[in-house]
Amino acid sequence: MSEWFVYQGDGRPDPARIDRLPDPPPWRAFDAPVVAYDVPGLDSATHRRLGAVTAPLPIQDPDTLELVNAALYLRRPLLVTGEPGVGKSTLAHSVAHELGLGRVLEWPIVSRSELRDGLYTYDAIGRLQDAQLRRAGEDLTPRVRRRRSAGPESEDIGRYIKLGPLGTALLAAGRPRVLLIDELDKSDIDLPNDLLNVLEEGRFPIPELERIADRTPVVRVLTDDGRKVEVTEGQVRCRAFPFVVMTSNREREFPAPLLRRCIPLDLKAPRDERLAALVQAHFGQDAHEAHHDIVDHFTEAEADGALRPTDQLLNAIFLAQHAARDAARREEIAELLMQPLDRGPR
């Protein structure tokens, strides 16, 4: 294991490792004052993906470790490509788990996704409806009127603004957050270009708050984690640049300016010791040996060059545990579930 690695890819959590990161290069240094807020711990999404690591087997190959750590050191997004099911999105959860960086902020991309969806939302309609209710309350008793109209403008507008996953990741936390921008290749053609400035500058404005900054410079808004946090002068600025994983199934090409700002990683499917670690994490210490027949069937089947994600292997092992009493039945289950995705069922 290289001494400079912060992320070691062995599945063993050690939050102190992130503190070994050197200062960022001058062109990636951000100096916003730290914003104090409670970062939630890992949630069920991470536990579902990672299972429980039970053996010191390598979870990542050396090339992946080199590039992940390069992204951490350089404060650059990691653009992860690979076939479906090789563990692209799981990589973000693995880094958050090992380095103790809290809940992974997830932004799943669809064809209608826009940059603002990831930055923040403003519920203008909800605010208008509440304002109408307050005006209707003018006919109520003075005591009720005071209760409904109480609160400064900042408290009023802050109730209707929520930071998205990208916006939350760019808050000036003392430690980097982990952000997963999943399946970026499904986006509209404009989104990759729209991301450029935000990822380069590590900041973005909230116009609704900038307009009132002279009267209420500090506004408390909601984060993607459900926490309240202060935004000053209508600007969200980062300090510790987040660890950003952008995944792609190679359904489209990305513009050169975006590629220039990313660390590219072509992730290979887990095999050999990495595959054994995956099976043990989900089924226990001796699972790889106990189910070697299904694992062998999976690895031998891919000799035809077809696409078989590791989900098929995990599904076959789980079903075999509950439905297979003899070797012939286990073989039947493996054959049934391990159909190549790119050739259709046989």
- Give the tens place of pLDDT for each residue, 122-134: 988 888 887 777 7
Cα gap 12→64, rounded to integer Å:
17
Averaged pLDDT, 268-272: 83
Averaged pLDDT, 275-299: 84
Predicted pLDDT of residue 150? 44
Cα gap 285→53, rounded to integer Å:
9
Cα gap 153→179, rounded to integer Å:
31
Please identify which residue in the block is written with the tokens 């939050």. 15
28-37, 289-298, 305-314, 336-345: segment of lowest average pLDDT: 336-345
Predicted pLDDT of residue 346? 52
Residues in the chain: 346
- In this structure, what token pair is assigned to residue 298? 């999976």
Averaged pLDDT, 151-169: 83
pLDDT band at 153 (very low <50, low <70, confident <90, very high): low
What percent of the chain clears pLDDT 70, i.e. is strictly above it? 89
Q: Which residue has the higher pLDDT, 36 or 161?
A: 161
Distances (CA, A) of 241 to 73, 74, 165, 221: 10, 10, 14, 20
- In this structure, what token pair is assigned to residue 289? 């040996």
Predicted pLDDT of residue 196? 93
Q: Are 50 and 94 in contact (CB under 8 A)?
A: yes
Strand order in the sheet with 161-163: 120-122, 161-163, 218-222, 228-232, 235-237, 203-205
Predicted pLDDT of residue 176? 96
pLDDT at 226 over 70: yes
Averaged pLDDT, 25-32: 95
Average pLDDT over the chain reads 87
Predicted pLDDT of residue 149? 46
Going by the DSSP 8-state scheme, the letter that residue 137 receives in this structure is G
